[in-house]
Structure 1
Amino acid sequence: MPEGHTVHRHARQLTAAFGGRPVAADSPQGRFAAGAAAVDGLVLLRAEAWGKHLFLRLDAPPGADRWVHVHLGLFGKWALGTGTPPEPRGALRLRLVGGDPAEPAWAELRGPTACELLDDAGRARLLDRLGPDPLRRDGDPSLALARVARSRQSLAALLMDQSVVAGVGNVYRAEVLFRAGLHPEVRGRDLDPGRWNELWQDLATLMRAGVRSGRIVTTEREHRERRTGAVRRSDAHYVYRRHGLPCRVCGTTVQVRELLGRRLYWCPACQAAGSTGTVSRDIA
């Protein structure tokens, strides 16, 4: 499932392509036909993200359905381009065409878990279920800490709970805990508030880098096999999907186990039980 940095990147791309101009909307697949018809010809004011949820704000009257809400889920994908849009094919849920008349843009959405119209109240109800987003300017780590500090759940579980922190997925969860030197099973209530703030700031740094590059890179140059040039996929992570391999920092074998239906990766030495660790922010 795409993590929050991908959705924020999509929001930026959609705003750049269509923001402030009317869009033609249709649903070749037919599953969003009524919604597409309702927004067809409206001005798309902006696209914005909150965690793994994307919202297209249309210039509709107050009280009307003026938000297109998209959640990609496991299989959803956006494709964007310029010029003449391709002929519709496959399960094309939503197609947008518009933008600069001199260089028209198009966007195609396939396979999302959710694609629906919401009014302001509906959007507010959805956001009430989400925790703060480290990538948003209004993301407040103290709101997440209020949940974390009361919880007997592990940090590994809490970081994946979208009602605690919005936008974190399996990769960021594993990598930020490694970089913080925290064992995944540390309970939320046992974590010092200062350590939570450090964790949040490092998470925000990693995710902002992901928005810029379109990929998740968490390693520092000194811990990569190739230390110059573009970061290879094999050098991008410390522990995620590296079970059975030596830790980049200490050489201990990286471990994996199931937690709430997802694979959890960690280094038993760098993230020893009771370890406080340190957070590094030098992402290149």
Structure 2
Amino acid sequence: MPEGHSVHRLARQFGDVFAGERLAVSSPQGRFAQGAALLDGHTLTGSAAHGKHLFLEFEHGLLLHVHLGLYGAWDFGGDAGFRGASSIGAPRKVGEREVYDDGEAAGPARYQGPPAPVGAVRVRIASAHGWADLRGATTCEAVTEAEAEAVLARLGPDPLRNLPGDRESFVAGLLARRTPLAALLMDQKAIAGVGNVYRAELLFRQRLDPWLPGQGLSGEAAGRLWDDTVAVMSDGVRDGRIITTPPHYWGAPGAGGSRGGLPAPEESHFVYRRQGLDCRHCGTPVALTELGARKLYWCPACQSG
């Protein structure tokens, strides 16, 4: 499932290329036909993300609310005025992958509008110079501002927004729970936007036992966990990938290691999908189990509590 940094990148991309544009909104698949009709022909005034939820705001007071879930993805394209990633969302391999396309190959004179829909396109958004297709999302609905606020009210603080009081809210929420930290970090009511990759990596970076109850954590340690989450997820927005290892863990350029200033995928994480391999810090084999029907990776020595 795309994690919060990808959804924030989506919000930024929609704002960059579609804000202020009167958009054609349709549902080639047909499942969103009624919602598309409510948004069609209206101007996008803003885009925002909270955790894994994307909200596209239109001038007449309605919003498009999208949660990609496990299989959702947006595809983008357009003329030379279009900038951004050509695809954001599932499917995933290791961490986050995005492929960039600046539109120069087509050129303004050759752009003939969006191509014919391919596959089950739930919603298509098109302007004079670009388009976006959504497939496979768990949630795709036209909502009022009040309905959007109700969704937000059910979510915990978002580290990528990091609003005043969010850190304190997160810390207080953790310290009040008997639930294991590994489960709390995946609870979108406790913290919005963290998924399986960030969960494993953050617990390792802070040397926290995944099974330690939230109330077993000190306030200082909970605060450090929030601060580290803010830092690494902000890096993810910048890089378009989840990278949690520092540069001294990366190989030499051209030798299967870092490329373009970023590490190779196999160098990007401390424990995620490294079961059976030596811990980068202590050499103990990285362990794998399941918690809440999701795979959990950790180092039994470094995270022993």
TM over 0.5: yes
Q: Distance in 2 between matches of 1:144 and 1:220?
A: 26
Is the contact between residue 162 and residue 230 of structure 2 (CA under 8 Å) also seen in structure 1? no
Q: Distance in 2 between matches of 1:137 and 1:25?
A: 32
Instruction: Write the mapping of 1:154-165 to structure 2, written as runs, cut at 5 A.
Output: 154-165=180-191
Instruction: Write the mapping of 1:206-245 to structure 2, written as runs, cut at 5 A.
Output: 206-226=232-252, 228-229=258-259, 230-245=262-277
Partner of 2:132: 107
- Displacement of 1:270 in angstroms is 1.3
Partner of 2:141: 116
Partner of 2:34: 34
Partner of 2:77: 81
Match of 2:302 among 247, 270, 274: 270
**Structure 2 residue 278 is the aligned partner of structure 1 residue 246:** yes
Match of 2:24, SS?
strand
Match of 1:16, SS?
helix
Is the contact between residue 50 and residue 192 of structure 2 (CA under 8 Å) also seen in structure 1? yes
Change in Cα spacing, 1:234 to 1:228, as seen in structure 2 (3 Å) is closer
Is the contact between residue 251 and residue 258 of structure 2 (CA under 8 Å) also seen in structure 1? no
Partner of 1:187: 213
Match of 2:23, SS?
strand
Partner of 2:85: none
**Structure 2 residue 227 is the aligned partner of structure 1 residue 201:** yes
Count residues with an aligned counterpart.
Answer: 265
* Structure 2 residue identity aligned to 1:49: A
Instruction: Write the mapping of 1:17-56 to structure 2, written as runs, cut at 5 A.
Output: 17-56=17-56
Is the contact between residue 223 and residue 249 of structure 1 (CA under 8 Å) also seen in structure 2? no
Partner of 2:89: none
Partner of 2:171: 145
**Structure 2: 5+ residue stretches without partners:** 80-112
**Structure 2 residue 163 is the aligned partner of structure 1 residue 167:** no
Partner of 1:90: 119
Q: Distance in 1 between matches of 2:171 and 2:20?
A: 37
Q: Distance in 2 between matches of 1:27 and 1:167?
A: 27
Q: Distance in 2 between matches of 1:179 and 1:158?
A: 16
Is the contact between residue 81 and residue 105 of structure 1 (CA under 8 Å) also seen in structure 2? yes
Q: Distance in 1 between matches of 2:191 and 2:26?
A: 33
Q: Distance in 2 between matches of 1:131 and 1:96?
A: 29
Q: Give me the TM-score of the superposition, normalised by structure 2.
A: 0.84
Q: Distance in 2 between matches of 1:105 and 1:176?
A: 37
RMSD over aligned CA atoms reads 1.3
Percent identity over paired residues:
50
Q: Distance in 1 between matches of 2:247 and 2:170?
A: 31
* Structure 1 residue identity aligned to 2:120: A
Q: Distance in 2 between matches of 1:210 and 1:18?
A: 23
- Displacement of 1:225 in angstroms is 4.1
Is the contact between residue 159 and residue 173 of structure 1 (CA under 8 Å) also seen in structure 2? yes
- Displacement of 1:146 in angstroms is 2.0
Q: Distance in 2 between matches of 1:8 and 1:188?
A: 27
Is the contact between residue 210 and residue 217 of structure 1 (CA under 8 Å) also seen in structure 2? yes
Match of 1:72 among 68, 72, 86: 68
Q: Distance in 1 between matches of 2:265 and 2:182?
A: 24
